Amino acid sequence: MTIIRADNIYYGYKKNSSIIKGLSLEIDNNITALIGENGSGKTTLGKLLCGIFKPTQGTVYINNEPTNNMSLGEIGKTIGYLFQNPNRQIFALTVKEQMLFVDQIMDKDDIESKTRMENILNYFDLHEKLNEYTYRLSQGEKQRLALASIILSNPRYLILDEPTTGLDIIRKQRLADYIKDIKVEDIGILIISHDMEFVNENADRIITLSKGEIIHDTK
């Protein structure tokens, strides 16, 4: 089932120069990896697919709906995006506040959402950090908190930009296990990564980008 579709999209940061050049792509709810050399446009494409950027030409569809006029909030109900730098995602003073912020947005029954929050924090080994200031967390802990808070909002699809950066071997394995677990729940994932070992072990499909164009797709 196609979740995200890009139809002949273009995007550039400067006038008359495109980073993404007439790219078309269909992504289903599998585990897809997006690889390519530095500067090939992976992060730019990830941000286009989740609506942070709007294409200068062409259209991105989510569940067959064009996203041109959708707000980031609307898209965010379906797609969760993990920034390459977790500092861009973490804005609350403490771990608990970061998680509760998402919770309040979700507007769910208290006990149910509290249990869900605790389970997710346990899963990412953050339960003992509940009252910790976020600025005191290590890079790997920030990465896990950013991911935990996205997952709490229950997205149908996840875009993870360099999710293994700053993770040790055990945490990387935990992330791989998590990816397998949520695949069972029918949540699709796009992993943007340079970590070929992680990609080869976990992805069902590998898309290679070069100079803003798809040059290889194992689908």
Ligand X SMILES: Nc1ncnc2c1ncn2[C@@H]1O[C@H](COP(=O)(O)OP(=O)(O)OP(=O)(O)O)[C@@H](O)[C@H]1O
Judged by CB under 6 A, the residue of 26, 39, 88, 133 near ligand X is: 39
* C-beta atoms surrounding 211 within 10 Å: 14
Interatomic CA distance for residues 31 and 179, integer angstroms:
8
- Where does 134-197 show beta strands of DSSP type E? 157-161, 188-192
67 forms part of the interface with ligand X (CB under 6 A): no
Residues 179-218 that bind ligand X (CB under 6 A): none
Stretch that binds ligand X, among 37-45, 95-103, 114-122, 127-135 (CB under 6 A): 37-45
- Where does the chain show beta strands of DSSP type E? 2-11, 20-28, 31-36, 57-62, 65-66, 79-82, 157-161, 188-192, 205-210, 213-217
80 forms part of the interface with ligand X (CB under 6 A): no
Q: How many residues bind ligand X (CB under 6 A)?
A: 10
Interatomic CA distance for residues 17 and 3, integer angstroms:
29
Interatomic CA distance for residues 37 and 209, integer angstroms:
8
Residues 7-26 that bind ligand X (CB under 6 A): 13, 19
Q: How far is the CB of 128 from ligand X (least distance, A)?
A: 32
The helix (run of H) or strand (run of E) holding residue 77 is: none
At position 101, the amino acid (one-letter code) is F
In terms of CB distance, is 48 or 95 closer to ligand X? 48
Q: Cβ distance 202 to 192 under 8 Å?
A: no
Judged by CB under 6 A, the residue of 38, 69, 71, 131 near ligand X is: 38
Stretch that binds ligand X, among 31-39, 68-76, 87-95, 198-206 (CB under 6 A): 31-39
At position 57, the amino acid (one-letter code) is Q
- Long-range contacts from 214-218, C-beta under 8 angstroms, 24+ separation: 214/23, 214/25
Judged by CB under 6 A, the residue of 3, 4, 6, 42 near ligand X is: 42
In terms of CB distance, is 38 or 64 closer to ligand X? 38
Residues 130-149 that bind ligand X (CB under 6 A): none
164 forms part of the interface with ligand X (CB under 6 A): no
Q: How far is the CB of 126 from ligand X (least distance, A)?
A: 26
In terms of CB distance, is 40 or 67 closer to ligand X? 40
Q: How far is the CB of 51 from ligand X (least distance, A)?
A: 16
3-class state of residue 47 by DSSP = helix
In the complex, the residues that contact ligand X under the rule CB under 6 A are: 13, 19, 36, 38-44
